[in-house]
Amino acid sequence: MTRGEHEIGRVHLTSVYPLGFLRVLKQLPSAQRYVVYPKPAGDQRLPAETARSGQSSSRRELGEGDDFAGVRAYVRGESQRHIDWKAVARGQALMTKQFTAEADGLLYLDLAAVRLDDLEARLSQLALWVIEAERARRPYGLRLPTVEIRPSLGEPHLHRCLRELALFK
């Protein structure tokens, strides 16, 4: 199947219940749409971090570090491993713990930086890097000619990046 947005069109329901010798078929129209992400392929090693111009390379950034920086409101879809469970046990609202880390630069996954000839191969490489950066819990951003997504982490960010890659023309 090719990447991009597709429409289901029709759903075919078939049943042979209860006796198995009588078959019933019903076609239902459907306006459901779905997105096919690019197939992850290529080199699994993440590219070197790149800092945007004008940013200090020694500043502290929120990310996956060791130093506690505070809490903020939980956003649905985020990893549950940083939820402040002690506060929840006391009856407080869901809060996410934040930590600081030394940041040498930001990891931006850039289509222009991928040195492959075929566009589909370049998009597949970026899809693999997005998945690997998320798995390694390294904040990552995505740069395409039409859109730039700032570095972040979490399932919503992962799917936003993969969706942009799937719909890229």
User: How large is the average pLDDT for residues 150-160?
Assistant: 94
User: How large is the average pLDDT for residues 102-125?
Assistant: 86
Domain with 97 in it: 60-102
Residue 27 binned pLDDT confidence (cut-offs 50, 70, 90): confident
User: Which residues 6+ apart lie within 8 Å of 153 measured at CB?
Assistant: 63, 64, 79, 134, 137, 138, 139, 140
Mark whether 76 and 154 lie in a shared domain.
Answer: no
- Per the rule left: phi > 0, alpha: psi between -120 and 50, beta: everything else, 134 is alpha
Model confidence pLDDT, tens digit, residues 127-150: 999 999 998 888 999 999 999 999
**pLDDT the model gives residue 10:** 85
Mark whether 8 and 90 lie in a shared domain.
Answer: no
Mark whether 109 and 93 lie in a shared domain.
Answer: no
- Is the pLDDT at 55 greater than 50? The verdict is no
User: How large is the average pLDDT for residues 73-89?
Assistant: 85
- Is the pLDDT at 53 greater than 80? The verdict is no
> Does pTM top 0.75 for this prediction?
no
Mark whether 79 and 94 lie in a shared domain.
Answer: yes
Mark whether 77 and 90 lie in a shared domain.
Answer: yes
- In the block, which residue shows the tokens 């985020």? 78
